């Protein structure tokens, strides 16, 4: 009888561990600090109207973004890197912003220290993420650097 109880307890423990592992692997991955930092580097370059710096930062972001966990972000970063002008880079950055916000929303607590903003004048996706709590609009750059308002950290 004792052997049966031990075997049953071990089987139940194995099911719990297997279920926990499956639940963990199914959970969306939060963007790593390096990924967020890479995104913020692209943001800073676009805010400064610096296409070359945005392309360089976007290449680095694409390399940092896990193609499996953050495929949309990696793809959007690649589009920023390949952009022929600031308008195209900013449009692609909107896709990167949406992908980052989606990843942050899927991993509660991962957006601590980040702020979302939106710009009604931007073409395409109008939200973005930054660390400072002051509008620094990457879609308008030097033309309208303070255009925008606070938004939720959701896509």
46-86 pLDDT per residue, tens: 999 999 999 999 999 999 997 788 999 999 999 999 999 99
List of residues 6+ apart from 62 with CB closer than 8 A: 74, 77, 78, 81
**Quick check: pTM over 0.85?**
no
In 3D, which of 71, 110, 116, 78 has the Cα closest to residue 97? 116
Q: What share of the chain is helix, strand, coil (3-state, %, to 5)?
A: 55, 5, 35
Both ends of the chain: CA-CA distance in Å? 56
**Which strand ranges, in their side-by-side order, compose the sheet holding 127-130?**
127-130, 115-118, 149-151
101-151 pLDDT per residue, tens: 999 999 989 999 999 999 999 999 999 999 999 999 999 999 999 999 999
Structural domain spans, the chain: 33-151
């Amino acid at each position: 009888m004792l052997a049966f109880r031990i075997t049953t307890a071990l089987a139940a423990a194995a099911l719990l561990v297997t279920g926990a592992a499956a639940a963990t692997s199914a959970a969306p991955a939060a963007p790593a600090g390096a990924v967020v930092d890479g995104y913020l580097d692209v943001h800073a370059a676009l805010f400064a109207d610096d296409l070359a710096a945005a392309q360089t930062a976007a290449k680095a972001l694409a390399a940092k973004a896990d193609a499996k966990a953050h495929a949309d972000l990696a793809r959007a970063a690649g589009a920023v890197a390949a952009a022929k002008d600031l308008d195209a880079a900013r449009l692609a950055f909107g896709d990167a912003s949406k992908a980052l916000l989606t990843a942050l929303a899927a991993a509660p607590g991962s957006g601590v220290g980040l702020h979302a903003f939106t710009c009604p004048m931007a073409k395409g996706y109008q939200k973005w993420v930054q660390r400072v709590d002051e509008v620094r609009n990457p879609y308008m750059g030097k033309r309208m650097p303070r255009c925008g308002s606070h938004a939720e950290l959701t896509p």
